[in-house]
Amino acid sequence: MDGGLDIDNGGADDGRRPGRHDATQLATGVFDNVTVTTPTPNQAPNASLTSPANGTTYTAPATVAMSAMATDPDGTIAKVDFFAGTTLLGTATASPYNFTWNNVAAGSYSLTAVATDNGGATTTSAARTITVNGPPNQAPAVSLTAPANGATFTAPASITVSATASDTDGTIARVDFFAGTTLIGSDTTSPYSITWNNVPAGSYSLTAAATDNGGAGTTSAARTVTVAAPPPPPPGAHALFAASADHNTLVTRYVLDVFASGANPNTATPIASQDLGKPAVVNGDCNADISASYNSLAAGSYIATVSAVGSGGSSRSAATPFTK
């Protein structure tokens, strides 16, 4: 063999080399039944969300059950990923393809499922939108702390009404105080308290109503107080006057001065004067027997003042007219 291609053409001889072809000559052949096989492209899988339904609403903190269907026409499903927007929430690798999204905060979310097949091809499902609403506003808590239930006062009474209030999911906007259905005062800052002044004799049911920043309200349990009529003054003439603000600190005594009607107490000489001492304060007022001064007056019209006297000087009240 000369290393050339030897093709038998039935004994034909070109005359140069009997019984053999010339290796320098080209040979022509015809091939029958040739099959050429090319790889089939991997087909992408199918994916669709089956839950939750589009437009579903929840309340935070929400639990959202997500499910998807996924098939592959020329292979198998390797995994299904669940997304909220571009955030991967979870993955399922076996049918049924499910995932539970827990503790979902308030907001609006676009959910999709992405199926990946065994060849690496992926398909994203159509999106579904859900809405998670904020939790419902919780009502505040409120309770009266003063006065004590069943407390008694003397008219005209000055009653301090106090309450505590709190809100688990916000703040307290205000606390309103009521006597029955009558609003007697409001406070917007803690500690929540008002002073109910000049309360006449009667029995009263007191409540406090707290309102939070979301508008929810709660009314406290009621407390009942009684305001008694003031006792009648003892026999004889008496002067009832408001105690000085310095009664407990600077005041040592009070002095009654009686003047002729129309006189100027700051310049006139008193017709009668009486040292009243330092009477006890009851509901903000002092009561003193002035029979001695009153009995010394002739019938007629007068004005009277009371001066608070102490180490720092004295302060005179406004004049009050009276007739004997």
CA distances from 15 to 12, 25, 69, 182 (A): 9, 13, 78, 139
261 HSE (CA, 13 A, CB side) = 10
Confidence (pLDDT) at 59 = 94
Confidence (pLDDT) at 31 = 56
Cβ atoms of 302 and 271 closer than 8 Å = yes
Confidence (pLDDT) at 40 = 85
Confidence (pLDDT) at 39 = 77
The per-residue pLDDT for range 20-40, each reduced to its tens digit, is: 555 555 555 565 676 767 778
* Contacts of residue 294, Cβ cutoff 8 Å, sequence gap at least 6: 236, 237, 324
DSSP structure class, residue 28? -
Mean pLDDT of all residues belonging to the chain:
90
Confidence (pLDDT) at 16 = 46
CATH number of 238-323: 2.60.40
In the chain, domain spans: 46-133, 141-228, 238-323
Confidence (pLDDT) at 48 = 97
Q: How confident is the model at residue 7 (pLDDT cuts 50, 70, 90)?
A: very low
Cα–Cα distance measured from residue 306 to residue 284, given in angstroms and rounded to the nearest whole number:
15
Q: How confident is the model at residue 15 (pLDDT cuts 50, 70, 90)?
A: very low
The per-residue pLDDT for range 211-256, each reduced to its tens digit, is: 999 999 999 999 999 999 987 766 778 899 999 999 999 999 999 9
CATH number of 46-133: 2.60.40.10
One-character DSSP codes across 180-238: TTEEEEEE-SSSEEEEEEEEPSEEEEEEEEEEETTS-EEEPPPEEEEEEPPPPPPSS-E
Helix (H) or strand (E) run with residue 293 in it: helix 291-295
Cα–Cα distance measured from residue 184 to residue 178, given in angstroms and rounded to the nearest whole number:
5
| Burial bucket for residue 72 (CB in 10 Å: 0-12, 13-18, 19+) | buried
Confidence (pLDDT) at 110 = 98
- Helices and strands counted in the chain (H then E): 1, 26
Predicted TM-score (pTM) above 0.85 = no
With tokens 């009277």, the residue in question is 304
Domains 46-133 and 238-323 share a fold: yes
The per-residue pLDDT for range 288-316, each reduced to its tens digit, is: 999 989 999 999 999 999 999 998 899 99
Q: How many residues can be counted in the chain?
A: 324
* Contacts of residue 266, Cβ cutoff 8 Å, sequence gap at least 6: 316
Residues 177-200, mean pLDDT to the nearest whole number: 97
Cβ atoms of 65 and 51 closer than 8 Å = yes
The dihedral formed by the CA atoms of 75, 80, 86 and 87, expressed in degrees to the nearest 10 = -150
107: number of Cβ within 10 Å: 13
Q: Is the pLDDT of residue 19 over 90?
A: no
- Residue whose C-alpha is closest to residue 227's, from 143, 146, 150, 144: 150
The per-residue pLDDT for range 81-127, each reduced to its tens digit, is: 999 999 999 999 999 999 999 999 999 999 999 999 999 999 999 99
Q: What is the CATH architecture assignment of 141-228? A: Sandwich (2.60)
69: number of Cβ within 10 Å: 17
